[in-house]
């Protein structure tokens, strides 16, 4: 008997593109035509934020019991000259359990080029004027990936052979009893969780 139990993976795949909240069109920044001794300031704050959280919980309970048996034949109380033959085959019990953990993959592509501004210029202002143009581009990426795999496996394989009987036989014939092999195997494979981050 061969029992195969393969449990599927929990898969979470995210492909995200982060964009700024700024307008798509690039703006030109210009300070021009202001008077004498004037103070002129342009401040632009561009923020591009990406927050990604992936979480998988996998709980697996497996209980397998495999039994194979051969034999248990009887040839009793026979008379005559013929031969008595009992020939039993092999008994094979095999249990294979494979448990795959969870899988997270994040493809994070930042498209924060829109944070840039157009041309900046300071022209034709009055004497002793002060002009400042400041552009602050802030990019924040926060990715959290969590996996938890909990597995409980109980696997039992039992193979039995033999227990053949040939009793109280009379006569000139022979008695031949051949018993096959008994083979039992258990194979359990548990693979943990995996996280892949493609920035």
pLDDT score, position 110: 64
> What CA–CA distances, in Å, run from 107 to 35, 170, 188?
52, 82, 33
pLDDT, position 113: 57
Sign of the Cα torsion 18, 21, 27, 29 reads: negative
Strand-pairing partners, residue 23, are none
**Beta carbons within 10 angstroms of residue 113's beta carbon:** 10
pLDDT in tens, 115-155: 556 788 888 888 999 999 888 888 888 888 888 888 888 88
For the stretch 60-112, pLDDT in tens is 888 888 888 887 788 887 777 778 788 888 888 888 888 888 888 888 776 66
The pair of structure tokens assigned to 79 is 């008379």
User: How many CB atoms are closer than 10 A to CB 187?
Assistant: 12
pLDDT attached to residue 170: 78
Mean of the per-residue pLDDT values of the chain:
78
Q: Is 52 in contact with 143 (CB distance < 8 Å)?
A: yes
In the chain, the percentage of residues whose pLDDT exceeds 90 is: 4
The pLDDT confidence band at residue 195, using thresholds 50, 70 and 90, is confident
């Amino acid at each position: 008997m061969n029992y195969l139990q393969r449990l599927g993976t929990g898969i979470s795949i995210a492909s995200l593109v982060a964009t700024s909240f700024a307008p798509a069109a690039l703006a030109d920044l210009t300070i021009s035509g202001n008077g004498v001794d004037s103070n002129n300031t342009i401040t632009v704050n561009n923020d591009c934020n990406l927050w990604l959280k992936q979480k998988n919980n996998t709980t697996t309970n497996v209980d397998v019991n495999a039994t194979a048996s051969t034999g248990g034949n009887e040839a009793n109380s026979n008379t005559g000259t013929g031969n008595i033959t009992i020939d039993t085959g092999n008994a094979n019990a095999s249990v294979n359990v494979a448990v795959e953990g969870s899988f997270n993959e994040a493809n994070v592509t930042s498209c924060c080029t829109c944070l840039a501004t157009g041309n900046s210029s300071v022209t034709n202002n009055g004497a002793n004027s002060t002009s400042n143009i400041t552009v602050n581009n802030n990019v924040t990426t926060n990715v959290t990936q969590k996996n938890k795999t909990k597995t409980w496996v109980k696997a039992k394989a039992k193979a039995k052979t033999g227990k053949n009987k040939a009793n109280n036989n009379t006569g000139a014939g022979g008695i031949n009893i051949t018993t096959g092999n008994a083979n039992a195997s258990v194979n359990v494979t548990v693979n943990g969780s995996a996280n892949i981050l493609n920035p």
